[in-house]
Amino acid sequence: MYKQGIKKVKPAFLSAAIGALLLGSGAANAADPSQLLKKTEDKVIEWRHHLHQHPELGNREFETAKYIASHLKELGIKVETGVAHTGVIGFLQGGKPGPTVALRADMDALPVTEQVDVPFASKAKTEYNGEEVGVMHACGHDTHVAMLMGTAEVLAGMRDELAGNVLFIFQPAEEGAPDGEEGGAKLMLKEGLFKKYKPDVAFGQHVTSSLPTGVIGYRSGPLMASADEFRITVNGRQTHGSRPWGGVDPITTAAQIIMGTQTIVSRQIDITKEPAVVSFGKIDGGVRNNIIPDSVFMNGTIRNFDMDNRKQIFEKLKITAENIAASAGATAKVQILEGYPVTVNNPELTKEALPALRAAAGAKRVMEVPKVTGAEDFSYFAEAVPGFYYFVGVTPAGKDPATAASNHSPRFYVDESALKVGTEALTRLTLNYMADHKAR
């Protein structure tokens, strides 16, 4: 997720009447969910507490899935479990013909030991990479699930009035599948989720400490970056540190590769199109001060906002590393592990979504935000159908979002009064889209 300074925003929640005026001609005719939303507020917080106390890592969300499935079944929603290992799908058929709207929440927690002093703090532990670790919903996925459960309850209560269908996607492994496993949105699509249910659009949201409580941040077009990992192994020839000419030094060669790759973004990619970042996060080579080793291993990340630029960076990284290594008499093996693509908000859908967001949060509390160099696998859904993804602020009044503990921190804190805003946003996005795209 991202961090940024945000100007202080005064609460300006709209009345139902003013909100209706903001919805536009089609959306103004959408059914009013206000009373049902009010009844779910406390429930959403209760569900969030339960989920927060019982976090599970990606592809291991077994109890979380049971909890969600039980709730959806009680609402009379068609339920499918075991999707992409532990995912839960709910399908609500409305009483009138119309489009199918997909709503997505991610379910997985992180291997983080909680340091937030709340009564429902996680005490869970599990094994991760061979070590015992704490488990925490340090990215707020517990709130995403709770808000979508609340949205499901509201929309199920309006079933006969719905001019269309709703596909509720409770997705596992957004933070990444365990090594050697597939998972997340990509696997759901691979298994045929959208072919089976054929949604017309997909909506998703994410809580963030970078915005004040209840403020919604959005952006049309590229919102979040692609995220790819690269691994470079430089092979030289071992020799004594006192006689470097007796071998081929992979450490010096690796240093030259690191410097050389910095010109990919600064000199070889058109950054007026979209920004990009190539960062090294790990370098490992050698065991002793006076022994030049045989090899060096380097590991890093690539972030960018344009899929054509992404391809060029892949190609240029390989060419740069291999040729610098060859100039030193060494070799370089470059491996690129493609991660999530760019998360792109469909411009037309973004425009259509704004009245619903303003009705949920208040007109002055919906703002355009900068691009985010973090990544999201909602991007796969938004590649398959028009998608719209946005942020809901959870940093309470009196705290500066610019210095608040970020998502993924063991001190990540959620002001739960924001959850009613997120629940209402998902609900109104669905109803407004149906009203604007009625079956003819």
Distances (CA, A) of 194 to 186, 187, 215, 234: 11, 11, 31, 43
Q: What is the pLDDT of residue 378?
A: 98
Token pair, residue 347, equals: 């411009």
To the query of whether residue 181 is one of the catalytic residues in this protein, the response is no
Amino acid at 217: G
Place of tokens 């010109």: 263
Residue 440's pLDDT is 59
Q: Which two tokens stand for residue 372?
A: 């985010």
Question: Maximum Cα–Cα distance for the chain, whole Å?
Answer: 82
Q: What is the pLDDT of residue 23?
A: 41
Which of 263, 268, 241 has its CA nearest to residue 252? Answer: 241
Among candidate residues 399, 373, 400, 377, the one with its CA nearest the CA of residue 387: 377
Catalytic residue among 153, 174, 416, 424: 416
pLDDT score at 13:
35
Q: Is the pLDDT of residue 104 over 80?
A: yes
Token pair, residue 435, equals 């009203």
pLDDT band at 424 (very low <50, low <70, confident <90, very high): very high
pLDDT of 342 strictly over 50: yes
pLDDT value at 235 more than 50: yes
Give percent helix, percent strand, percent coil of the chain, each to the nearest 5: 35, 25, 35
- For the chain, which residues make up each domain, given as ranges? 16-225+342-436, 226-337
Distance CA 353, CA 350 (A): 5
In this predicted structure, what is the pLDDT of residue 31?
A: 79
Residue 416 known to be catalytic? yes
Q: 130-180, pLDDT tens digit by residue? A: 899 999 999 999 999 999 999 999 999 999 999 999 999 999 999 999 999
pLDDT tens, residue by residue, 357-406: 999 999 999 999 999 999 999 999 999 999 999 999 999 999 999 999 99
Q: What angle do CA 405, 401, 51 make, to 5 degrees?
A: 50
**Mean predicted lDDT score pLDDT of the chain:** 93
Least confident of 21-25, 29-33, 42-46, 168-172: 21-25
Q: Which CATH class is domain 226-337?
A: alpha beta
User: In the CATH scheme, what is the code of domain 16-225+342-436?
Assistant: 3.40.630.10
Residue 438 confidence (pLDDT): 87
In the block, residue with structure tokens 């398959």:
384
| Paired tokens of 170 | 């409770």
pLDDT band per the 50, 70, 90 thresholds, residue 338: very high
Q: Of 69 and 271, which is predicted with more confidence?
A: 69
- Please tell me which residue in 340, 389, 390, 433 is annotated as part of the active site: 340
The band of 28, judged by pLDDT with boundaries at 50, 70 and 90, is low
Q: What is the pLDDT of residues 46-56, one digit of tens each?
A: 999 999 999 99
Nearest to 207 by CA among 402, 33, 406: 406
Query: pLDDT value at position 250?
Result: 98
Residues in the chain: 440
Tens digit of each residue's pLDDT (9 = 90 or more) over 307-337 = 999 999 999 999 999 999 999 999 999 999 9
Task: Compute the distance between CA of residue 189 and CA of residue 357 in angstroms, rounded to an integer.
Answer: 27
Helices (H) and strands (E) counted in the chain, each on its own, are 12, 18
Q: Is the pLDDT of residue 10 over 60?
A: no
